[in-house]
Chains A and B, each alone.
Chain A
């Protein structure tokens, strides 16, 4: 699958944290928002379906929590940190393309209450994540 954008054209906001499995985490009070990165959405191509968990579901770090699909490929989603899902972005059911258009804003996927907030410190900064994907690309 060929990417549509070069890595230099992609956005990786410095205030977010990133997992090696290409999800981002945005801390906000005692919860965090989770979605997939600009790099991940670009690799997938035009997204046609997003399957997300239900509020109340609990996940361990690295657990599979959903699926994102384009016409060309399908990709499992992995939890960047442990916690309980407190909200999901239901808009993505009707408008999965928001993940492509706005991966860090309108395309957010779920809100999580971390069970171990210290895990946030162990995941990557924007700079570290950029280094990782440059190696992968």
Chain B
């Protein structure tokens, strides 16, 4: 399948992606959108506009297109070139320069750990650093990355209380193992978005302050530490675009103070974003 890589002039991250494609023996046509590739990119964009991601700084480059799928951003393109099994691990991030983020360790196939190590190893050899996240699943992936020395920043996004994890079919022992692995990364934090929760009776309301306290206590109990970096953040209802949350008010930063008070009962460094 013919692969085209659309790049922005002077895009260092695009060069890193192209080098990896070449190493993997993937033939591609390299087009600079401001030079020889301008007309072709305009045609591509017109035909695939709905599939092209735009961040705050515009279109994310490099853009990989094989005639069927569009992939964007350094991590996503390298992950895709390494193995299709890495699809869940890599998403588009927000960081630039030497950082690659949008690496979601709980959302990929843990059986593809060797491929993940290969892709990240290549990016590290190119001078990149990683901000990764986990929701508690796939602790074996974190263990392996620690052993390989991959990952500068690890964020654990706590999804709820132990009961809430169980209700989603997640193994509490795995989550607790992850809680103990996260602090082993050079920089780390635990984040709790005060999100809408669908209750057993079908109603939807925000996570309660007492539940934030319960989550902080679970973290303390699982790790034996009450001084983790613990950040409470408001949930962005608009960005979520979920019909079930239509009746809920958008939570403001000041609304988080009561959650912080409850969380500080077990995590003394709890702070609001």
Contacts and interface: CB of A to CB of B under 8 A. Distances in A.
A73 B42 contact: no
B42 A97 contact: yes
Interface string B54-73: 10011100000000000000
A74 interface: yes
Nearest to A50: B46
Interface in A34-65: 46, 48-49
A70 B34 contact: no
A71 B63 CA distance: 12
Given A46-B34, A48-B41, A74 B46 contact: no
Interface centre among A46, A48, A69 (most CB of B within 10 A): A48
A49 B58 contact: no
Interface in B7-58: 8, 33-34, 38, 41-43, 45-46, 49, 54, 57-58
Contacts of A93: 46
A137 to B, nearest CB: 21
B212 to A, nearest CB: 37
A73 B54 CA distance: 8
A8 B243 CA distance: 49
A46 B42 CA distance: 10
Contacts of A96: 42
A72 interface: yes
A43 to B, nearest CB: 13
Given A46-B34, A48-B41, A72 B46 contact: no
Contacts of A46: 34, 38
Contacts, number: 28
- Range for the number of chain B residues in contact with chain A: 10 to 19
A69 B53 CA distance: 13
- Range for the number of chain A residues in contact with chain B: 10 to 19
Contact of B45 (A49, A72, A73): A49
Contacts of B46: 49, 93
A97 B41 CA distance: 12
A46 B34 CA distance: 8
A72 B58 contact: yes
B33 A71 contact: yes
B259 to A, nearest CB: 36
Given A46-B34, A48-B41, A48-B42, A71 B8 contact: yes
Nearest to B61: A71
A71 B42 contact: no
A66 B121 CA distance: 45
Contacts of B42: 48-49, 94, 96-97
A72 B38 CA distance: 14
A96 B33 CA distance: 14
B34 A73 contact: no
Contacts of B38: 46, 97
A97 B59 CA distance: 17
Contacts of A72: 57-59
Given A46-B34, A93-B46, A73 B58 contact: yes
B95 to A, nearest CB: 18
Interface string B157-199: 0000000000000000000000000000000000000000000
Given A49-B46, A72-B59, A96-B42, 19 more contacts: A46-B34, A48-B33, A48-B42, A48-B45, A49-B42, A49-B45, A49-B49, A69-B45, A69-B49, A70-B58, A71-B8, A71-B33, A72-B57, A72-B58, A73-B58, A93-B46, A94-B42, A94-B43, A97-B42
